[in-house]
Chain A
């Protein structure tokens, strides 16, 4: 559970930093008068959707880190047999990176008021994400064909579970991306769509990061790193 504690500590630091900007030491009973007289402590000026996405990313991070914690605790039991990761995952990873790049392209285009660039970026990103999901399903099929079933070893169970949870999050993202693209297609002004494109891009980068961490875990690349952390903590 040390990974979770670390995560909660990070959240606590961020929250603590934010609270420290909010004049929590003010004496409100003495501060009568309009807001302008007391700088600091106003409501956030960011759009609600952006703050909402930020909070949601914290929740999703908590979810993945808890899965990772469970993974690392279950891994120590003797029956663990790491499964050979299908090569296809490397291709999938490349496609997901391309998807993220395409959305970044779209985001940059939105800032330049380039409607066509936005549309191309969104469609390319969406298509790449769909290919990624298809690739993941294919990887499942390959593993199944090779006899690595979901219940035959905890390593397999975790592989299917983690890829499924990541895939579901990406599917949710595709719904948002689809809505944004549809609105663009129907001719919504680029100024109205800039925020949506930005939020999709942030979410895509987040899911790419999560995937890279999961990949490192599933392929055993991060084992050494995890061991070092463990030694430091104990």
Chain B
């Protein structure tokens, strides 16, 4: 940590900053493996999350094979299908998206964007990654234990989650709970870093209202996650005790396999409340960083300041606060007190207001901008469209009377894949393309990138649009096979086969993306420090990729907000945040 002199004459550069407490690696191991440098930790987080995410992608292929061509693949049985569903959902939501946005992008971008040398607690930050890795390994180990992973569905609802008859009842569920507990402990360590770094380690001149929206998004999401994950922690610990010690926190009295079970009196509804008290904020924990990042991508590649910056900040904060009072809209059919539904439907619809403000502001930023359709921008535009689509079906499901018939159908699957699957993944991919030159110093292959975008974007629509229709027909989710059902026409089966073919295609097209990243690492053109001519601090580092300590001898001083693009009268169409105002600049030039 470094001290920045705060007093002194305004406009003078800071004194040389003594690197008293900055951690210096002494060996290869502490530089690349047990590193305390946030940038290395970010890459470790991203690679681990991507690796386990690929496992989840393969699981989705297996599910689609079964749904598209039931009875064809003898190696998929009903139990395995449930296990695939469970692991796919859990990995994608928690171990991929949460870890990638906060652990990956948070670690890389926060210190660079706020002008700090590193996170404030580098050692705890390193521990955070290793605990996360342990959580991932525990989760992955469930594929190899007797009985396999749990097939309880990603919501893990008791009583069925721990009863015999549910796959993975022996080891799968125990390891799943243990892995979640580890993940939350690891995340809390990282989260403390992200929050305190934004609060305390911003460089001189970096007021809150000069922060790029990426930092606002990640910061608010982290605060939410720190308050919401304890609910999952509590639910996991109590369910684990129900399973291991035979307590009855959640387990009601019931007959299991013809025998009266040892359980009695527990409340499955209590679990649902705890789970969704975490689960709904989780949607925004994933969405807010995406909102922030996409704002920066759009502004940079449209060469225009973000429209309504203040409104964007307020909307992020408002969404963060509101998302804590909407959780029971996931529970309309759970048997909770029915009038609660009206309250939660109202709050759900209210949250659409700040969200809509953000969408309008993105569109207004694009309006009459100098739009460069580079790969990150394509993904950002893809995000806006997808998010609007997913958001609109959210209005359907947020209303109690519409939700009841649509509950547990493919419509819900289509909705949440659009809004928190495809949309955030669009941002993740766009952001990787956007910051790839900064992380590696090399440019990706543009043609491959564009190919990747179009296949992914069009493919995602071909997969999920028809699913809405299947849901409206009444095709249920989570079913291994539909069999002969009178209300499902045979065209639904053809549609399922079509979706499966597209899903496999889109899945394989991600290999093009991975190839592009790997190939460009060695063969890509040198990108220079600021290929997008962007304003934010991470593009102004003295070295690319940024060196240890990020900033050389002196921390940057910030003179302006993050969106000075196409300022009338300026020499260039962007002014970096650390460029002094013109008057100051001229005086310094004259003196030297």
A binds B: yes
Query: Quick check: B267 and A161 within 8 Å, CB to CB?
Result: no
In the complex, what's the smallest C-beta–C-beta distance from A213 to chain B, in angstroms?
16
Knowing A12-B321, A34-B559, A35-B558 are in contact, say whether A48-B200 is a contact too (CB < 8 A): yes
Knowing A24-B314, A154-B266 are in contact, say whether A52-B196 is a contact too (CB < 8 A): yes
In the complex, what's the smallest C-beta–C-beta distance from A174 to chain B, in angstroms?
18
Indicate whether A1 reaches chain B with its CB closer than 8 angstroms.
Answer: yes
CA distance A55 to B227 in the complex (A): 10
CA distance A51 to B201 in the complex (A): 11
Write the chain A residue with the least CB distance to B560. A32
| Chain B residues with CB under 8 A of A151 | 245-248, 262
Query: Quick check: B200 and A44 within 8 Å, CB to CB?
Result: yes
Query: Quick check: A73 and B273 within 8 Å, CB to CB?
Result: yes
Q: Mark B193-228, 1 if CB is under 8 A from A, else 0.
A: 001100111111111111000000000000100110
CA distance A146 to B46 in the complex (A): 52
Query: Quick check: B207 and A42 within 8 Å, CB to CB?
Result: yes
Indicate whether B270 reaches chain A with its CB closer than 8 angstroms.
Answer: yes
Query: Quick check: B234 and A63 within 8 Å, CB to CB?
Result: yes
Q: Mark A147-165, 1 if CB is under 8 A from B, else 0.
A: 0001100100100010001
Q: Mark A7-40, 1 if CB is under 8 A from B, else 0.
A: 0100110010001001111111101111111101
Knowing A31-B561, A35-B10, A52-B121 are in contact, say whether A24-B208 is a contact too (CB < 8 A): yes
> Which residue of A8, A27, A46, A80 is within 8 Å of B200 (Cβ)?
A46
Report how many residues on chain A are interfacial, defined by Cβ distance under 8 Å.
Answer: 56
Query: Quick check: A41 and B227 within 8 Å, CB to CB?
Result: no
| Chain B residues with CB under 8 A of A38 | 207
Indicate whether A79 reaches chain B with its CB closer than 8 angstroms.
Answer: yes
Report how many residues on chain B are interfacial, defined by Cβ distance under 8 Å.
Answer: 66
A41-61 interface with B by 8 A CB criterion: 41-46, 48-49, 51-52, 55-56, 58-59
| Chain A residues with CB under 8 A of B310 | 24-28
Indicate whether B238 reaches chain A with its CB closer than 8 angstroms.
Answer: yes
Query: Quick check: A59 and B265 within 8 Å, CB to CB?
Result: no
Query: Quick check: B249 and A28 within 8 Å, CB to CB?
Result: no
| Chain B residues with CB under 8 A of A56 | 188, 192
Q: Mark B549-575, 1 if CB is under 8 A from A, else 0.
A: 000000001111101100000000000
Listed by A's residue number, 27 A-B pairs whose Cβ atoms lie within 8 Å are A5-B324, A8-B324, A15-B223, A23-B207, A23-B209, A25-B310, A26-B207, A28-B309, A33-B581, A34-B557, A34-B584, A40-B207, A42-B6, A43-B201, A43-B206, A49-B121, A51-B199, A52-B192, A62-B231, A63-B230, A66-B231, A66-B233, A74-B267, A79-B264, A79-B265, A151-B248, A157-B247
> When A and B form their complex, which 10 residue pairs have the shortest distance between CB atoms, in order from nearest?
A41-B207, A79-B265, A36-B10, A35-B205, A28-B561, A48-B120, A157-B247, A63-B230, A43-B202, A151-B246
- Give the interface of A toward B (CB within 8 A): 1, 4-5, 8, 11-12, 15, 19, 22-29, 31-38, 40-46, 48-49, 51-52, 55-56, 58-59, 62-63, 66-67, 70, 73-74, 77-80, 150-151, 154, 157, 161, 165
